[in-house]
Amino acid sequence: MAHETVIVLDFGGQYNQLIARRVREQGVYCEVKPYTTPVADLKALDPIGVIFTGGPGSVYDPAAPQADPELFRLGVPILGICYGCQLLAHSLGGKVAPAQSGAAREYGKTGTSFDPDCRLFRGLPAESVTWMSHGDYMEKVPEGFRLTARSAACPNVAIADEARGFYGVQFHPEVNHTEHGAAMLRNFLYEICGASGDWTMEDYKETAVRRLREKIGDGRVLLALSGGVDSSVAAALLAEAVGKQLVCVFVDHGLMRLNEGDEVEAAFSKWDVRFVRVNAGERFLSRLAGVTEPEEKRKIIGGEFIRVFEAEAKKIGRVDYLAQGTIYPDVIESGAGDAAVIKSHHNVGGLPDCVDFKEIVEPLRLLFKDEVRRLGRELGLPEYLVGRQPFPGPGLAIRCIGEVTRDKLDLLRQADFIFRDEIARAGLAGSMDQYFAVLTNMRSVGVMGDGRTYDYTLALRSVTTSDFMTADWTRIPYDVLDRISVRLVNEVPHINRVLYDITSKPPATIEYE
């Protein structure tokens, strides 16, 4: 079954994933595509609508991303957000200019007035708050458009050419700070694009199982199983699709948390699939010796993963496909074409150019994290697996700043266990979406036992998030932080200072490397 599809055309905006996530929350399937995607390729997806994302550039800059004029002849509604709104105006005969200080330039929460006759704002309050982030403004509105929203500083907050279904907003409806932003997107999808809302996880499961059976046929599949949410759900989906043709290989790269390798083996040995554990800690550590640059770490680990799987496949016998738990944020963050690489995920940007398999199968490649959890529940996976916190494929290597050594990993494992243990004792685990310790490469002077120390600084990180694309730091009570700090400096050798990270995403990422 082909889903109704909305295309989110990425012009470099920091919220591109969030826009896509908000669209899918409304029961409408969408894909994020770079603005350089040929219009013919976009047309082949038979979209019911297109959304232009924000971006850091100015549309009047010759070097800034531009829209192919053919986009406006697709015959489908278009919604431009922030830069996307200005691009819409610029491309269709309007004029965009730098905002003068104190006028038309807006950042943060902004009181905004709306025209309730505009279909984008129909049924919503005439006054509410939006989230602005723009230094340019539409000096001249294109012919055929009318103004549909304004603020105290800017008369041109939103524009609409309802005859063609073209809409533009200077603010960001996809962020929670914009009141009624979800309702605006829903109006665009259902009232303007005519969506019926055919994106459900039950339908996705059935479609995915059928497609996997068609693709794999009687072939054998080797799954890269980490024991995390993504690979566990991928295992369940593949098991339902091809059963005994699946072999799950767990590579213990020596970069796991305390006792985690044994826990993964215990959990998956009960499944009706072939489970193979490969202890490759020494191999990975030797390859990481002397490496300090985060991207290089990720690529080394990704490449080594593949080589281990190739070697294991030869022992197993004929294996046609390599399966991975890659999810959509992995793909987007790893960059494609002109898109920025935020960080190469070991199962995307870290893959070697040539692998010794017929094809790589990624059944979760188009799903966001919360969608993966929903699919897991649809497949009947236990909650302790579906609700597990994310753990990066490169493991503790990217929570150990600088060179990765055995001694530093041992320190980090102890520290991470203490942090998690105290959070559990305080009954706070359910209120946090991801929390962990990071061994920084910074050393500082301390005093212990009346003597001078010069040891490591440990950072603690905890975030709350609904989608892992944006995240806020967790307000852990001071008394809990105090107990954690006391235990860390008393129980873990060579740590004499503990910091708590209070940076949200953006501007930071959740992981350190």
Residues noted as catalytic: 82, 172, 174
Q: How far apart are CA 404 and CA 289, in angstroms?
A: 7
Sole residue written with tokens 């020596």:
254
Rounded Cα gap, residues 348 and 44, in angstroms: 25
| Residue whose C-alpha is closest to residue 215's, from 234, 238, 231 | 238
In sequence order, what are the beta bridge partners of 251? 278
C-beta of residue 231 within 8 angstroms of C-beta of residue 376 = no
Among 10, 25, 314, CA closest to 176: 25
The upper half-sphere exposure of residue 320, i.e. CA atoms within 13 Å in the direction of its Cβ, equals 9
Which parts of 102-187 are beta strand (E)?
106-114, 127-134, 136-140, 146-151, 158-161, 166-169
Contact between residue 285 and residue 395 where contact means Cβ atoms under 8 Å apart: no
Would you tell me how many other CB atoms lie within 10 Å of the CB of residue 277? 17
- Is residue 191 classed exposed, middle or buried when 0-12, 13-18 and 19+ CB atoms within 10 A define those classes? middle
| CA atoms of 468 and 472, how far apart (whole Å) | 10
Please, are residues 298 and 344 in contact by the beta-carbon 8 Å criterion?
Answer: yes
Mapped onto helix, strand or coil, the DSSP state of residue 408 is helix
Structure tokens that stand for 230 in this block = 């993504």
500 beta partners = 460
Instruction: Report phi then psi at 5, rounded to 5.
Output: -125, 135
Structure tokens at 493: 């050798």
Residue 18: φ, ψ to 5°: -65, -40
Contact between residue 83 and residue 111 where contact means Cβ atoms under 8 Å apart: no
Q: State how beta strands 78-81 and 166-169 pair.
A: parallel
| Bridge partner residues of 472 (DSSP) | 464
For the sheet with 5-10, list strands across it. Answer: 29-34, 5-10, 49-52, 78-81, 166-169, 158-161, 146-151, 106-114, 127-134
Q: Specify which residues 90 forms β-bridges with.
A: none
